[in-house]
Structure 1
Amino acid sequence: MNNNNKNNKNNYFVDSMYRVETTSRLAQWKIDNFPSCTYRKSDPFNIAIWNWYLSVERNRVSCLKLYPQISNHDLPIASFIIRLLPSAGAHNPFALSETKDKLLTNTEDFVWLIETPLPAKFIIHIEFLDLKISCPKGGDPCSIWPNISMPQRSNAATLESLGRMLTEAIHTDITINACDGSIGAHRAILAARSPVFHSMFSYNLTEKDLSTINISDMPIEACQAFLYYLYGNLKHEEFMMHRLALLHAADKYDICDLREACHESLLEDIDEKNVFDRLQNAWLYQLPKLKLGCMQYLVKFGKIFYIRDDFTAFLQGADRDLISELFHEVLDACQGL
């Protein structure tokens, strides 16, 4: 091996020593060589709107610190679980610490004194349960995650007027028939927001002649949320409640911004209860980032070992190509241990 190759290999090894792998709410730092009486600090890693650092020190008493990088953002109020895992493929922690609603500002805010002796090789696994910031108008702190993917209003007065046109049925000229109810809307707005609706009203189709659109695969509440989005007055809680139905509508009616808003939002709160459902939808609607996030959650972060019953149910109904892809991810991860 020539000197350049040796240097490149050494540089990669050094870089990987300090690199923290992340997904939307998880962080994982593999410590492969940690001798006694030493200190190590990670490279910065990004979770939500902050960059973070980890440091670990072993002396007579080992300690681990987690803290955000100083920035222009408000300081985080964090809830998280830290697990120390063996690096030999086991997924049961040998030490665990849980923190709820703690304001983090510097290296002294979260210090975990670890009574269990640290091995030379181990994994620091962090699951962020919530991150909050202080509300500018006072009151209780607000979670930053529910607001990450909501589309921003560009002109509040105009959007308010459009919303009133829908909710007060001002000069509506088309009727939307959901599976369990109907609502009036406006051809011009629908056509401007969706090329599919535009085609319906441009040619001699049934929708143009009868002034109705049948959306029989959506209940009226989800259909109303869909229209609220198109008119620019969808509330956050309605968006969160109907994300999957909105994703289906965005795909069906070719509304790219809504599709991407749902994609980003579904990526932000993957957990044990929804990961297989999210993976199925990522496959169905061809959402690469969501599929990658689910794969990382299940395989890289080892969650697949904790939800075996759900995994069994997933295997019984999922697409064979998707199952094959997941198994290849598992096999690749096993080979890397």
Structure 2
Amino acid sequence: MDTWSLVFRHKKVKAIPKRIVESRKGSYLLKVAGYSLYKGIGAGSCISSPVFTIGGYNWIIDYYPDGHMTGAEHVVVFIIMPISNVKDLAVKFDFTVLAHDGKASSNNEHPTKIVTNIHDHPKYYLKKETLEASKFLKGDSFRIRFTIEIIKEGPLEKTVHYTREVTASNLSLVSLLETGEGADVSFIVGEDIIHAHKYILAARSPVFKAQFFGPMEGKKNGSIEVKDMEASIFDAMLHFIYSDSDSESLPEFDEVEGNRPATVALAQHLLVAADMYGLERLKRVCEKKLYEFLVVDNLATTLALAVQHYCSDLKDACMNFVKAPDVLGAVVLTEEFEHMITIYPTFFKELRQLKPSS
């Protein structure tokens, strides 16, 4: 599941005679989604983030839901430099728990750490009782921002530094989709006709690329009919293609915010469309949204969808959820369960192989 994000910025501070102090600083946002699902995995068991880079060095976050050694009253988080010959490196670490509105908690409990031996892995503790009673745990998830600052001295190279900020990219092709300007292909989706641009679609989707520029290209004339898909879903998929947004959300999800059934239905349909056209990032966005809204009533359909469209992370999340006490009995009583067993006949066999949830 894509629960990790990285923000990096680089700056140089004022020079001292014949030497320069260089500060490289970056932040890593860890979002723990499904907090309750990981409780009970046992002390010493951890979940690791992907490797990320700040200041030219690789890092990993290890999250221990039930503590590092013994006792399960604390959540423990380590910051680790996985493989490095670096020994003497001054690094400053900051740790902040964030509320869902982006506001930070008090840092009094988690003071700044400065280390010179990078292999003395900084670790932070969160008391479960305090976390679970706080505003920071919401929707079974919480967020931690880690700030890593590396300070190095080196030869004086420049006394004047370039300070102009490079603005974020404002690339967006959505206006071309909305106006139809320069469109060279049309799709018939139900009763709607949607105009688009072959090269933009082909650049983002291997399926569109094969459709427009593969061996069958010369046999395609006129409009292309899209079957078994609603026009609103196809249009939402095209907006994702044209916007190339880095956001984990989509405007369509914002429109149905707070409406669980509508959000789940939209994510399910978009996941099918993303799989059909080879849009892996959109597929991951939909998987994450389905995981966040996973409950007993929609578990059977979500698990069936994950199996049918080869979403291994979502499938694993569903299986971990269903093995919790009393969940399986409730799922069996839902109307969707019989359909799920038809699509996923080895469900009970795989369930028996799982370690029972505590």
Task: Give the structure-2-normalised TM-score.
Answer: 0.53
Question: Which residue, 97, 113, 123 being the options, matches 1:76?
Answer: 97
Question: Which residue, 301, 313, 321 being the options, matches 1:277?
Answer: 301
Is 1:258 aligned to 2:282, yes or no?
yes
Q: Is 1:27–1:127's contact at 8 Å kept on the other side of the alignment?
A: no
Is 1:66 aligned to 2:74, yes or no?
yes
Question: Which residue, 217, 224, 244 being the options, matches 2:268?
Answer: 244
Is 1:200 aligned to 2:224, yes or no?
no
Is 1:329 aligned to 2:335, yes or no?
no
Q: What one-letter code is carried by the residue in structure 1 that aligns with 2:275?
A: D
Post-superposition offset of 1:206 = 8.9
Residue number in structure 2 paired with 1:209:
221
Post-superposition offset of 1:75 = 2.7
- Superposed CA deviations along residues 238-280 of structure 1, whole A, max 9, x for unmatched, are 4644332222122222334433443455445433232211111
Distance in 2 (CA, whole Å) between partners of 1:77 and 1:301 is 31
- Superposed CA deviations along residues 185-221 of structure 1, whole A, max 9, x for unmatched, are 11111222223323333356698310x2222322222
Is 1:317 aligned to 2:339, yes or no?
yes
Is 1:219 aligned to 2:230, yes or no?
yes
> How has the CA–CA distance of structure 1 residues 64 and 334 changed in structure 2, closer, same or farther, with 3 Å as cutoff?
closer
Q: Percent identity?
A: 20
Q: What one-letter code is carried by the residue in structure 2 that aligns with 1:156?
A: S
Q: Is 1:282–1:291's contact at 8 Å kept on the other side of the alignment?
A: yes
Structure 1, gaps ≥5 residues long: 1-21, 32-41, 57-62, 80-100, 113-125, 135-153
Distance in 2 (CA, whole Å) between partners of 1:243 and 1:198 is 24
Post-superposition offset of 1:133 = 6.1
Post-superposition offset of 1:299 = 1.7
Q: Is 1:297–1:303's contact at 8 Å kept on the other side of the alignment?
A: yes
Residue number in structure 2 paired with 1:185:
196
> How has the CA–CA distance of structure 1 residues 273 and 132 changed in structure 2, closer, same or farther, with 3 Å as cutoff?
farther
Residue number in structure 2 paired with 1:156:
169
| Structure 1 range deviating more: 22-31 or 241-250 | 22-31
Structure number with higher helix proportion? 1
Residue number in structure 2 paired with 1:122:
none
- Local SS of the residue matching 2:181: coil
| Structure 1 range deviating more: 44-53 or 299-308 | 44-53
Post-superposition offset of 1:24 = 4.5
- Local SS of the residue matching 2:310: coil
Residue number in structure 2 paired with 1:289:
313
Distance in 2 (CA, whole Å) between partners of 1:246 and 1:73 is 38
Post-superposition offset of 1:64 = 6.4
Post-superposition offset of 1:227 = 0.4
Q: Is 1:222–1:245's contact at 8 Å kept on the other side of the alignment?
A: yes
- Local SS of the residue matching 2:294: coil
> How has the CA–CA distance of structure 1 residues 319 and 54 changed in structure 2, closer, same or farther, with 3 Å as cutoff?
closer
> How has the CA–CA distance of structure 1 residues 229 and 73 changed in structure 2, closer, same or farther, with 3 Å as cutoff?
farther
Count of residues in correspondence between the two structures: 242
> How has the CA–CA distance of structure 1 residues 315 and 64 changed in structure 2, closer, same or farther, with 3 Å as cutoff?
closer
Root mean square deviation of aligned Cα: 4.3
Task: Give the structure-1-normalised TM-score.
Answer: 0.56
Structure 2, gaps ≥5 residues long: 1-31, 50-60, 80-92, 111-123, 131-136, 146-166, 254-262
- Superposed CA deviations along residues 102-133 of structure 1, whole A, max 9, x for unmatched, are 98857575547xxxxxxxxxxxxx99713246
Distance in 2 (CA, whole Å) between partners of 1:108 and 1:201 is 54
Residue number in structure 2 paired with 1:172:
183
> How has the CA–CA distance of structure 1 residues 302 and 329 changed in structure 2, closer, same or farther, with 3 Å as cutoff?
farther
> How has the CA–CA distance of structure 1 residues 299 and 268 changed in structure 2, closer, same or farther, with 3 Å as cutoff?
same
Post-superposition offset of 1:46 = 3.5
